[in-house]
Amino acid sequence: MIEVQTEDGIRFRIPKQESLGMRTDVLVFASPELIEQIRRDLSLRQAVNVATLPGIVGPSLAMPDIHQGYGFPIGGVAATDWEEGVVSPGGVGFDINCGVRLVTTNLEKDEVRPKLRELVNQAFRDIPCGTGGKGRIELRDKELDDVLVKGARWMLEKGFAEERDIECAEEGGRLEGADPTHVSSRAKERGRPQLGTIGSGNHFLEIQYVEKIHHPEAARAMNLHEGQAVVLIHCGSRGLGHQVCTDFLAEMGAAMKRYGISLPDRQLACVPIQSEEGQGYLAAMRASANFAWANRQAILHFLRDSFRRVFGNHVRLATLYDVCHNIAKRERHEVDGKKRDVLVHRKGATRAFPPGHREIPAVYRHIGQPVLIPGSMGTASWILVGAEGAMRETFGSVCHGAGRLMSRTAAKKGRTAKQVEKELEERGVIVRSETKDGILEEIPEAYKDVDEVIEVVHQAGLARKVARLRPMGVIKG
């Protein structure tokens, strides 16, 4: 049993134990209720394992949506020293730059409702989930390499984006230092037909409305009002990123011995950031991240067509913001009073920079970086803004979702997809899924209460609530 200490009922600490190989403490943000749920799976053990990584700076951090992952817990954050520390593909995950884009519309909920079914069906036709077939974009070799280097900017050059879509994405929808030569031909072949597809698992596209504004000033800067229709897109780098992770896990597993690194879990495989393998991984990871930004942009492009077809040409869809929640980034943070360059691994965690940070687009700089938190299918999602506490305590990071509670097999027991569809319709939510299992496995009861997760990060001062969103239509794989 792992001993957890708390003084304030929000910060739960596992002190460093050298017998476990820990180089630092584990710090979990949670509530007394959430920590009991968290204790039921392997997530705390995994957060302890992360604390053994060479060169880790500050504590091994976990957000209130933490649940058991592979190597790293999902909802984990770890910063490693840029010169002396390691990079771990497991700290990013298979779905590199899995993330969220939120899009505002100039439509009200009441205008969308009467045509909701038509809209959901139209978008379901226009945007493939890609579980069985291909996407709609054909890429030649040179074009795919350009996507990997330019990310969402490539879509802008091709006329599939508006300037604002790029300005209002983390990193401008493109990470510097991407190198397609480090992406294997297998990764390219796996990803090539999947640009502009959603994928399966917990990925989805949701038509939602703003239920309640909690921070009027931030909502004004975001052009948000109660009753407004919005769209949330949750997906990542598809097979391209998955294969990059697979390739480098195998390479690093073998390389670790050469660097004299031994770890409690093979899935944590890591190498020094400054090694050839470390730099190779980061170059390939950035290329995958760029593919993911291009992917979310392509989906938005097709979605604009769907909305115009249903509501006419006056409809405007504008990107509010786009965040990644599976990524490792070089950032400068203050640690023990000194500025240090670190590699921040965010595995199921979202960057949350506070007001005034230079990385935030000018329109939002006075309110803080928008943070987008998708809830489970059919419940609620949240918009937050980053706050000062995140810079002090979590390397500018917060949670990324509700966090799973129930296994996929358990979720499927006792109900049919038709029953779940009907229950959701009774709550005013229309669902279309490419697979039957897709609906059953993502039932709302399989997740923690997203409101409770948000309350923790709000109370802890890591981020501030801006708006709660309610779903109307869901498209998923």
Q: Which is nearer to another protein, 242 or 345 (CB)?
A: 242
294, 145 contact by CB (below 8 A): no
Distance in angstroms (rounded) separating the CA atoms of residues 170 and 154: 16
Q: Which residues contact 253 (CB under 8 A, 6 or more apart)?
A: 266, 269
State the DSSP H helix or E strand holding residue 244, giving kind and residue range, or none if neither: helix 238-258
- In this chain, which stretch among 69-77, 79-87, 205-213, 274-282 interacts with another protein, using CB under 8 A? 69-77
To the nearest whole angstrom, how small is the minimum distance from the Cβ of residue 455 to another protein?
22
Q: Which is nearer to another protein, 9 or 132 (CB)?
A: 132
Task: State which of residues 29, 70, 248, 281 lies at the interface with another protein (CB under 8 A).
Answer: 70
Distance from first CA to last CA of the chain, Å, rounded? 38
How many C-beta atoms surround the C-beta of residue 243 within 10 A? Answer: 23
Considering the rule CB under 8 A, would residue 243 count as an interface residue with another protein? yes
To the nearest whole angstrom, how small is the minimum distance from the Cβ of residue 271 to another protein?
16
To the nearest whole angstrom, how small is the minimum distance from the Cβ of residue 345 to another protein?
16
To the nearest whole angstrom, how small is the minimum distance from the Cβ of residue 268 to another protein?
9
Considering the rule CB under 8 A, would residue 133 count as an interface residue with another protein? yes
Q: Residue 232 corresponds to which tokens in the numbers above?
A: 């949330």
To the nearest whole angstrom, how small is the minimum distance from the Cβ of residue 299 to another protein?
16
- In this chain, which stretch among 101-109, 127-135, 148-156, 300-308 interacts with another protein, using CB under 8 A? 127-135
Interaction residues for another protein, span 428-447 (CB under 8 A):
434-435, 437
Task: State which of residues 258, 408, 418, 427 lies at the interface with another protein (CB under 8 A).
Answer: 408
Q: Is 160 helix (H, G, I), strand (E, B) or coil?
A: coil
Q: Which amino acid is at 66?
A: I
State the Cα angle at 256 between 188 and 280, rounded to 5°.
35
Considering the rule CB under 8 A, would residue 121 count as an interface residue with another protein? no
Q: Which is nearer to another protein, 226 or 437 (CB)?
A: 437
Distances (CA, A) of 462 to 94, 180, 320, 386, 457: 26, 35, 20, 6, 5
Distance in angstroms (rounded) separating the CA atoms of residues 326 and 349: 7
SS3 content of the chain, % helix, strand, coil (to 5): 40, 25, 35
Kindly list the residues in this chain that would bind another protein in the complex (CB under 8 A): 41, 67-71, 74, 93-95, 130-133, 186, 189-190, 193, 199-201, 239, 242-243, 245-246, 249-250, 253-254, 265-267, 269, 404-410, 434-435, 437, 477
